[in-house]
Amino acid sequence: MRRLFGVMLLSVLIFTACGKKEKLVSLTPDQPAYALGKALSPILSALDPDSNKVLVTSKYFDITSGEVLSKLQANFGNRTEGLKNMSPEQLKNVIGDIATQYADERLLLKAAKKAKIKVTPAEVDSFLNVQYQRAGGEEKLMSGLEENHIQFDYFKESIKKNLTIEKYLDHIIETRSKISEDRIQKAYQEFLKDTLVNVQHILLLTNGKSDAEKKTIRNKMAKILSRARSGESFDALAKEFSEDPGSKDKGGLYEDVTRGQMVKPFEDACFSTPVGKISDIVETKYGYHILKILSRNPGNKPLEEVRDELVKKLENSGSRSILNDYFKEIREEANVKLVGF
């Protein structure tokens, strides 16, 4: 889940669960993050380290501008210079996103600790070796960190915490993505609706064509569409013009088309164009199509024949939805609010 949660979730301070809100973190003038805050405060006053405004509130902790600045400085070092060129609105959006992500991170680490999720030193070292390879070697990575004033110990600790979050999110997905029989039955009922389409189509190929050539081809298809809608035989037009060798001689006919069988724009037209009507021009990676829907009938495949397919679809479509729902839950439970701007 590293790709879903993102690099921005590398944190500044180790979260420790407790019954009371944690002590607010502030900056002192000798810290680089303090200087960063002073440089950014004329753009966004909420970042003035002397006022140290609370930017996020929750039941368990509050996050101050000092913590967010520390996070920025620790993660990005010299690259924070780019923030000084942002407009107030741009900077507000960036800081708001980071503060919210930081709150998510702390909630996830709290939950991961409760779930007894652990990351071993070997797992950290393995991930670190991948970073060495991507950077062109250990020396280059260390040099890059040094140039950006990012401490190696902080970098390594951040890897551990990020891997902990990754493991915990995998655990959440695995726990919540178990497909119940009730969900399978509901998916099957949906599958039985409008799953078999008999359709005729005409295809004019555009593979390898220039933009000018494609424009000419589209104009040609527009004329064919006009003729079809005026009452000419779709069957005859397909046999004359279609460049689809699989259906041309059959008047462009495809029988019993099901969801997932055709490319997405073609499928969408199959299931959205009214029966008996001719679609608008549909563009796919193959070219321009027009479709005439002959019929749409409920499917008749037994559940056991399509069970594996339905389960796979439910699993593939569920991960992001599961995480979105979970993040919403933990934020609501903790009463997380973005404030201070």
Whether residue 111 is found in the same domain as residue 219? no
pLDDT at site 7: 34
Average pLDDT across the chain, whole number: 87
Count CB neighbours of 45 within 10 A: 13
Q: Radius of gyration (Cα) for the chain, nearest Å?
A: 29
The alpha-helical segments, DSSP class H, found in 148-263 are: 152-176, 181-192, 211-229, 234-241
Q: What is the CATH number of the domain that holds 272?
A: 3.10.50.40
Type and span of the H or E element at 275: none
Number of domains in the chain: 2
Distance CA 96, CA 102 (A): 10
Distance CA 295, CA 276 (A): 7
Domain with 16 in it = 2-178+323-338
pLDDT at site 301: 78
Whether residue 166 is found in the same domain as residue 223? no
Pick from 43-52, 211-220, 279-288, 292-301: least confident = 292-301
320's tokens: 């992001």
Whether residue 111 is found in the same domain as residue 141? yes
Whether residue 99 is found in the same domain as residue 15? yes
Q: Is the pTM of this model over 0.85?
A: no
Is residue 40 in some structural domain?
A: yes
126's tokens: 């393995």
How sure is the predictor about 26, in pLDDT bands with cuts at 50, 70 and 90?
Answer: confident
Whether residue 63 is found in the same domain as residue 173? yes
3-state SS class at 323? helix
Q: ∠ at Cα 310 (309, 316), nearest 5°?
A: 90
pLDDT at site 302: 86
Contact (CB, 8 A) for 95 and 47: yes
| 7 vs 188, residue with greater confidence | 188
How sure is the predictor about 6, in pLDDT bands with cuts at 50, 70 and 90?
Answer: very low
Instruction: Examine the pLDDT at 12 and tell me if it is beyond 50.
Output: no
| 257 vs 40, residue with greater confidence | 40
Distance CA 65, CA 49 (A): 7
Which residues, 6 or more positions from 295, have their beta carbon under 8 angstroms from its beta carbon? 197, 198, 275
Reported as a single tens digit per residue, the pLDDT across 42-90 is 999 999 999 999 999 999 999 999 999 998 888 888 888 889 999 999 9
Reported as a single tens digit per residue, the pLDDT across 131-189 is 999 889 999 999 988 888 888 998 899 999 999 999 999 889 888 877 888 888 988 88
Distance CA 148, CA 150 (A): 6
How sure is the predictor about 21, in pLDDT bands with cuts at 50, 70 and 90?
Answer: low
Whether residue 161 is found in the same domain as residue 218? no
How sure is the predictor about 4, in pLDDT bands with cuts at 50, 70 and 90?
Answer: very low
Q: What is the CATH number of the domain that holds 139?
A: 1.10.4030
Is residue 189 in some structural domain?
A: no
Whether residue 206 is found in the same domain as residue 329? no
Which residues, 6 or more positions from 1, have their beta carbon under 8 angstroms from its beta carbon? 165, 166, 169, 170, 173, 323
256's tokens: 């019993």
Whether residue 131 is found in the same domain as residue 163? yes
Is residue 33 in some structural domain?
A: yes
Give, as one character, the DSSP assignment of residue 248.
Answer: G
Q: Which amino acid is at 329?
A: E
Contact (CB, 8 A) for 49 and 26: yes
Highest mean pLDDT among 3-7, 129-133, 305-309: 129-133
Whether residue 86 is found in the same domain as residue 6? yes
Report the sign of the C-alpha dihedral through residues 301, 304, 305, 306, in that order: positive
Whether residue 270 is found in the same domain as residue 334? no
Alpha carbon distances (Å) from 199 to 270, 292, 295: 7, 6, 7
Is residue 310 in some structural domain?
A: no
269's tokens: 């037209």
